[in-house]
Amino acid sequence: MKGLKVITFDGDGTLWDFKKAMRKSLSKIVEILKERFPEKAEKIDIDTLIRIRNEVAENTKGKFINLEEVRRRSFDETLRRLGIFTKEFSDYLSEVYFRERYRQVEIYEDTVPVIKELRKRYKVGIISNGNTYPEKIGLERELFDFMIYAETVGVSKPDHEIFHIAMERAGVSPQEMIHVGDSIEDDIIPATELGIKSVLIVRDEEENRTQDIIPDNVKIIRNLYELKNLIFNG
């Protein structure tokens, strides 16, 4: 594409499968709770843990608490609601969760080969609201020229500022950048509003079928091989 210098990617759901890893890790927490406290934890399931975590995140919104701390506090809250809170047990659940979560993350098979090809011509970066860092899941840090994580810069998508930070880091204008992500709200709309070309990746049709209307001129891909073809041949 004419004038293109930088390609940025969302992380979770774009370069690696975070949701599957998260749910597998939470299933381990459910298992532990039901083994230790079968009566009190009888109704606890993965979706309950997700809901409590989201409530904690909403209650701490704007306080720039990192996502690991949000998850830790969600275990505190879960145990308090069950009437079994101790700091030691909550810390143990956090330790198990994060060990399992990073171990369980699956890097999509197209991620490494496509990024290696793209880096022959362009700078490549990450713009993420998550806390899955490449080196923690077996991705080479050197695959990326820069990484912008919301928890380290104090602002998250869809706020335009995080995209401005990325452009400043890369030394480019909006017209020289493409952003690729799986969220219309967090990736596609803010990038488009700034004049950044955006590409929506839909790896799971079922999960994306209820998303909002896609802005005009936004390309849709099913995998990163399609992105490579779009950029090199489009």
C-alpha to C-alpha distances, 20 to 36, 96, 173, 204, nearest whole angstrom: 25, 16, 35, 12
Name the pLDDT band for 217 (thresholds 50, 70, 90).
confident
pLDDT band at 210 (very low <50, low <70, confident <90, very high): very low
The per-residue pLDDT of the chain, averaged, comes to 93
Please state which architecture CATH assigns to domain 6-17+106-233: 3-Layer(aba) Sandwich (3.40)
Using alpha carbons, list the distances in angstroms from residue 7 to 89, 102, 106, 197: 43, 25, 22, 10
pLDDT tens-digit map of 170-206: 999 999 999 999 999 999 999 999 999 999 999 976 6
Domain ranges of the chain: 6-17+106-233, 19-104
Contact present, 222 and 203 (Cβ < 8 Å) = yes
Q: Do the beta carbons of residue 52 and residue 33 sit within 8 Å? A: no
For the entire predicted model, the pTM comes to 0.89
